[in-house]
Amino acid sequence: MRPTRFAVAGLATLFLCCLYGQVVAAPPAVPPVVLCRPAISIEGRLHCGEPALAVLAAVCDRGFAGADPGVRAGDHVSLADGCRVDGRIPGSELVDLQVSIDLNGASASELEGLPGIGPTLAERIIAARPLRTVDDLLRVKGIGPVRLARLRPLVMATP
């Protein structure tokens, strides 16, 4: 009878040790956030940071210093027909990449990628253009100080 009690006690101890190890284990590591400024998509491949501009210059065989005046952060560049801007990276991806969205130049779909901005607010922002500063968003019905505080690090207003 004793060997059975020892076996049960041993199994119970082993089970409790395994359970304790899972409860006390450290939380999983959070992947680091990588800033991507500026982010440019060339033929569907994302290029981040200042080297993105050098890649763009090399790929497009242009001898300019810095960015091409027609290319801005968040653009998708197509190499067909001699290196042209073919569209924009979707707004939600721009937000994930922490690329500032220009309030005066963004499309409705880009604005909808911002947190708390749906189709109605996106159209109201477009109707309120031109915006001189990010604070001008307070003129838009539906955007108050709290929403503005959430949007401020994600947007910019260029003339």
Please state the three-class secondary structure of 14-40 as a single string. HHHHHHHHHHHCCCCCCCCCCCCCCEE
Preceding amide of 90 cis, omega within 30: no
Split into its structural domains, the chain has a count of 2
Together in a domain, 65 and 117: no
Most confident of 51-55, 58-62, 105-109: 105-109
Q: Residue 154's closest CA among 102, 108, 116? A: 102
Most confident of 43-52, 82-91, 119-128: 119-128
Together in a domain, 87 and 38: yes
Together in a domain, 90 and 46: yes
- Assigned domain for 3 exists: no
The per-residue pLDDT for 31 is: 53
Burial of 141 by CB count in 10 Å (0-12 exposed, 13-18 middle, 19+ buried)?
Answer: exposed
| Higher pLDDT, residue 108 or 12 | 108
For residue 94, give its domain range: 34-99
Is pLDDT above 90 for 61?
Answer: no
- Assigned domain for 109 exists: yes
For 109-155, write each residue's pLDDT tens digit: 889 888 889 999 999 999 999 999 999 999 999 999 999 999 998 88
The per-residue pLDDT for 135 is: 94
Together in a domain, 45 and 85: yes
The per-residue pLDDT for 131 is: 93
The per-residue pLDDT for 149 is: 92
Task: Indicate the residue among 99, 124, 139 that finishes a domain.
Answer: 99
Together in a domain, 93 and 112: no
The per-residue pLDDT for 63 is: 42
Cα separation of 109 and 105, whole Å?
12
Task: Indicate the residue among 56, 79, 99 that finishes a domain.
Answer: 99
Contact indicator for 128, 139 with CB cutoff of 8 Å: yes
Q: Integer distance in angstroms from the first to the last C-alpha of the chain? A: 87
Q: Band of the pLDDT at 67, cuts 50, 70, 90?
A: very low
Together in a domain, 93 and 109: no
